[in-house]
Chain A
C-alpha cells in the first residue's frame, strides 16, 4: 500500500484507482477475465456459442463432453455449452436487476431508518429487523408466490429478498458518518442539512457499498438460479442456468455433465464477482484510513 501511496503523491492529479490497477493481484485478473467472458456471452452470445441453444439433435442425445459438443448434450441433443452461453444473459440480467432493486429499496429504507424523525425511523427499523429474521430464500419465495413465476418476478423477488440486509448496512454506515467530525464541521461551517447530506453523508455512506454491489451480483445470480431450480422462476425450455439445473436433474444418474457445468457457471460468476467486490472494498478502505 505504501508504494501506491507514494505514487499518488508524486502524481497527485492522476486517479489513485488507475495507479492501483497496475498492481492488481493475479486472482483479480483471472476473475476479471471470467466476468469478461460471461459479459460477452450475455451481450453477443453468437460470438461464443458453437451451436444454437434450441436446435434439437435426437441422434446425439445425452452425449458426454467431446470435441463437437464441448460440454456434452442433453436428452434431446441440445449442445450444453451453447445453452449455457445463451443462458448467461438471462441469469446475469436477473442478478444485476435484483441487485438494482435491492439497492434502490435499501437506499430508501436505510436512509429513512437512519435520518428520519424517530416516529418514522423506529417502525422502519423494526420492520427491517422482522424481515431480517427470515432467511433470504424464504423471503424471496414469499414474493414469488405473490407475483407468480416469471423472469421479472424472479428479479423483483430476489431483489426484495436481499433488501433488508443492505438497508441495515446503509443505516449503520449513515449513522456512523452522521456522527463523524467532518459532518459536524460542515454543519458548524454553516451548510444546510440537505447540502451536508448530498456532499458528505450519502457519498461516504455508500463508499463501502461499492465492493458489496459486485459481491451482491454474484449472490443474486445464485439466489435466482436456486429459485429457477425449484421451478419457481424461469421455466425449463429457457437456457437460464437455474432452469438448466432443473431440467438436468431427471438424468443426473446417466448424464452428470448436465448438472456439473451449469453449476460451475454459477459458481464461477459468483466467485469472480465476489473476488472483484472484495478487492474494490479493500481498495476503498485502504484509500481512506
Chain B
C-alpha cells in the first residue's frame, strides 16, 4: 500500500462486502460567504459504501467530515456549491435533486442521526409521535399498524418499557434513551443506509456504550452505516473502513485495523498519538516542543516534605441544593481528599456526579453545608471573605469554556495584566511586558496581546486562560473539564503544556474530567465520583488496573479503547 493510492480511492478488500449502495467520486463542496468569496471545504473526496458495511469519517472540527455526510442527504444548505464526478445512491445520481425527491429518500432510504438528541427532537412532542411522523410522512401503514411499528422500533433500539417511553417528551428521558429514540426515528423505515453524525459525542461513557451497541446491532441486521466521529476509539469499535479527513481532503483510507494499527499518513499517526490513555502517561502527546518559563517565576517555594500539611485538604464535604421543584438534593455526599505539592489529583465521574460542585467548593466559590476544605492547614472554605481573598491568589482555575470566563470588553492584554497586578503588585508597572512573557510561556506570542478572545481559536483561548491562571503564581490550579471541548490534537498540546508547567513550576492540579483517558494520563491519584459519593480513591494505576468498586469497573468496561483495535490487528495478522 503506497501513499499515493491512499489519497485516491479507498480500497475495500472485504470479501463479504455486498452490493454497492453509495458511490462518491471527486466530490467538491464550496461555501459562499456573505461577501461572495468562496471557501473550499471538501476537496476531491472519494468513497464507497457497500451493503452491511460501516465506514467512518474521522477528523477534527473543520475537516469537512460533516459537510461530506450532509451532502449525501441533501442537507448542505443553500449557500453551498456541490460538484462531483459521481455522487450516486444505488446508481441514481444525487446531484441537482429537488427537495421533494430528497424528502422521499431521507428516512426511507437513508436515515440521518444527529449529534444532540435534545436539539434534534421537538421538545414538546412525545418521542413516539416523532417516530410515528417519520412513518406517516412516507405514507407507511395505517395509524394502528404505525403504532405497533413505533413500539417495535423502540424495542429494537433497546428502549425498555416502550409504551411508556413513547408517550414521554424528550426532556423527560435520560440522555441515552433520548439518543436511542432519535436513532429509532431514523431507522423506523428500515433505510439501507444510516448516517450517524457524532452520535455519542455528548454522552457519558456508560451511555455511549449502550448507543454503540445499538449501532452494532443495526450493522448486524445488514444496515450500512456511515459514522462520523472525532473519536478514534469509538470508530475502532464499529468501522470496517476508516477515512481520515484533514482540511477537506481524505488523507488516508483503508480497513480500520490497518489505519489504526499501521497508519501511513503522518496526520493519522498524530491523531492516534494524541489520544491520552494509560499508555501515554509520562510521555508527550503532541509533536510540539516544550515551553520555556523564562525563569520569570519563582522556583517552587518549598520542596515537599513529608510532615507538611497538604496543599488542599477536603474533609467530609457535603453540599445540597434546592431544585426547581423545591426538593433538596445532596449533590456532594461527605467527600474527603488531599492534594499534595506538585501532585495531580484526578476527579472523574459522569454528568451529575457532583464533580463540578466539588470543584467550586475547592475554589471556595460555594460554601459546603458541612465539612470543610483547608489550604496548607489553614481554614479556606469556612474562612471569612477577607481571609479567603489572601488565599485565592494561590488557587487558580481554568474552565471548560474559556471564552465565557473572559469579560467580553477585554482584550488579551487587559485579561492578563489584571491578573498580574493582582498576583504581585510589584509587577504591575511592567505588567504588559510580563503579560507577553506569560503568553510565550503558554506557547503564544506577544502579538496576541491585542487580540479579542472572541476571534481566537479554542486552543488559543485555553492557552490565554492558562496564562491567566499562572499569572498570580498559584500553588494549585483547578482544571474543570479544561480540555473537554478541544479537538484531540489541540487537547494533546494543552495537556503537554500543563505537564510542562507542572514540572517547571511545581504547581498542583485538581484535574476534573469525565474523560477516563485524560484523567489516567494526567493524574497521580484518582477520585471516582458517582451521585455525589467518592466511590473509589487511590493511586491512578491501581484504580484503573484493579478497580475495587463496581461503578469504576463499569466505567472502565464502557470505555472504548483503541488498544483493542491494535490487539485485534496483531491477532489477525498472526
Which residues in A have some Cβ–Cβ distance to B below 8 Å? 2-3, 5, 8-9, 12-13, 180-182, 184-193, 199-200, 203-204, 207, 288-289
Residues of B within 8 A of A185 (CB): 397, 399, 405-406, 468
Contact present for A181 and B405 (CB under 8 Å):
yes
Contact present for B419 and A189 (CB under 8 Å):
yes
Residues of B within 8 A of A8 (CB): 452
Q: Is B363 an interface residue (CB 8 A)?
A: yes
Residues of B within 8 A of A2 (CB): 33-35
Question: How many angstroms from the CA of A186 to the CA of B405 in the assembled complex?
Answer: 8
Q: Is B450 an interface residue (CB 8 A)?
A: yes
Assess A204 versus B455: contact at CB under 8 Å? Given A189-B419, A189-B468, A192-B389: no
Residues of B within 8 A of A182 (CB): 404-408
Pairs across A and B, CB under 8 Å, 24 listed: A2-B35, A12-B411, A13-B450, A181-B404, A182-B406, A182-B407, A184-B365, A184-B405, A185-B406, A186-B407, A186-B418, A187-B392, A188-B365, A188-B395, A189-B418, A189-B422, A190-B392, A190-B393, A191-B422, A199-B407, A199-B418, A200-B407, A289-B408, A289-B454
Q: Is B396 an interface residue (CB 8 A)?
A: yes
Residues of B within 8 A of A191 (CB): 422
What's the nearest-Cβ distance from chain B to residue A281, in Å? Answer: 15
Question: How many angstroms from the CA of A204 to the CA of B410 in the assembled complex?
Answer: 11
Residues of A within 8 A of B487 (CB): none
Q: Is B409 an interface residue (CB 8 A)?
A: yes
Residues of A within 8 A of B403 (CB): 289
In chain B between 407 and 461, which residues have their CB closer than 8 angstroms to a CB of chain A?
407-409, 411, 418-419, 422, 450-452, 454-455
**Which of A2, A189, A193 has the most C-beta atoms of chain B within 10 angstroms of its own C-beta?**
A189
What's the nearest-Cβ distance from chain B to residue A209, in Å? Answer: 14
Chain A binding surface SS class: helix
Knowing that A2-B35, A187-B392, A188-B395 touch, tell me 11 more A-B residue pairs with CB under 8 angstroms.
A2-B33, A181-B399, A182-B405, A182-B408, A185-B397, A189-B418, A189-B468, A190-B393, A190-B422, A204-B407, A288-B409
What's the nearest-Cβ distance from chain A to residue B39, in Å? Answer: 12
Q: Is B472 an interface residue (CB 8 A)?
A: yes
Residues of A within 8 A of B397 (CB): 185, 188
B37: nearest chain-A partner, CB-CB: A2
Question: How many angstroms from the CA of A184 to the CA of B364 in the assembled complex?
Answer: 11
Question: How many angstroms from the CA of A192 to the CA of B393 in the assembled complex?
Answer: 12
Question: How many angstroms from the CA of A288 to the CA of B35 in the assembled complex?
Answer: 21
Residues of B within 8 A of A189 (CB): 392-393, 396, 418-419, 422, 468, 472
Residues of A within 8 A of B472 (CB): 189-190
A3: nearest chain-B partner, CB-CB: B35
What's the nearest-Cβ distance from chain A to residue B219, in Å? Answer: 41
Question: How many angstroms from the CA of A208 to the CA of B405 in the assembled complex?
Answer: 19
What's the nearest-Cβ distance from chain A to residue B171, in Å? Answer: 22
Question: How many angstroms from the CA of A5 to the CA of B454 in the assembled complex?
Answer: 11
B386: nearest chain-A partner, CB-CB: A192
Question: How many angstroms from the CA of A13 to the CA of B399 in the assembled complex?
Answer: 29
What's the nearest-Cβ distance from chain B to residue A130, in Å? Answer: 26
Contact present for A204 and B409 (CB under 8 Å):
yes
Question: How many angstroms from the CA of A13 to the CA of B422 in the assembled complex?
Answer: 25
B478: nearest chain-A partner, CB-CB: A188
What's the nearest-Cβ distance from chain A to residue B248, in Å? Answer: 21
Question: How many angstroms from the CA of A200 to the CA of B409 in the assembled complex?
Answer: 9
Question: How many angstroms from the CA of A200 to the CA of B403 in the assembled complex?
Answer: 15
What's the nearest-Cβ distance from chain B to residue A121, in Å? Answer: 18
Q: Is B401 an interface residue (CB 8 A)?
A: yes
Residues of B within 8 A of A289 (CB): 403, 408, 454
What's the nearest-Cβ distance from chain A to residue B376, in Å? Answer: 16
Residues of A within 8 A of B455 (CB): 5, 9
Residues of B within 8 A of A207 (CB): 409
Question: How many angstroms from the CA of A204 to the CA of B406 in the assembled complex?
Answer: 12
Closest 4 A-B residue pairs measured CB to CB?
A190-B392, A181-B404, A185-B405, A181-B405
What's the nearest-Cβ distance from chain B to residue A100, in Å? Answer: 24
Contact present for B399 and A187 (CB under 8 Å):
no
Residues of B within 8 A of A13 (CB): 450
A8: nearest chain-B partner, CB-CB: B452
Question: How many angstroms from the CA of A9 to the CA of B363 in the assembled complex?
Answer: 35
Question: How many angstroms from the CA of A187 to the CA of B366 in the assembled complex?
Answer: 11
Contact present for A203 and B409 (CB under 8 Å):
yes
Question: How many angstroms from the CA of A204 to the CA of B399 in the assembled complex?
Answer: 21
Assess A188 versus B454: contact at CB under 8 Å? Given A2-B33, A182-B406, A182-B407: no
Contact present for B422 and A181 (CB under 8 Å):
no
Residues of A within 8 A of B411 (CB): 12
**Which of A5, A9, A12 has the most C-beta atoms of chain B within 10 angstroms of its own C-beta?**
A12
Residues of A within 8 A of B363 (CB): 188
Question: How many angstroms from the CA of A219 to the CA of B303 in the assembled complex?
Answer: 67
Question: How many angstroms from the CA of A203 to the CA of B409 in the assembled complex?
Answer: 9
Question: How many angstroms from the CA of A193 to the CA of B385 in the assembled complex?
Answer: 10
A192: nearest chain-B partner, CB-CB: B389
What's the nearest-Cβ distance from chain A to residue B410, in Å? Answer: 8
Assess A190 versus B389: contact at CB under 8 Å? Given A181-B399, A289-B454: yes
Residues of A within 8 A of B399 (CB): 181, 185
Question: How many angstroms from the CA of A8 to the CA of B451 in the assembled complex?
Answer: 10
Question: How many angstroms from the CA of A184 to the CA of B403 in the assembled complex?
Answer: 13
Residues of A within 8 A of B454 (CB): 288-289
Assess A180 versus B468: contact at CB under 8 Å? Given A189-B392, A189-B422: no
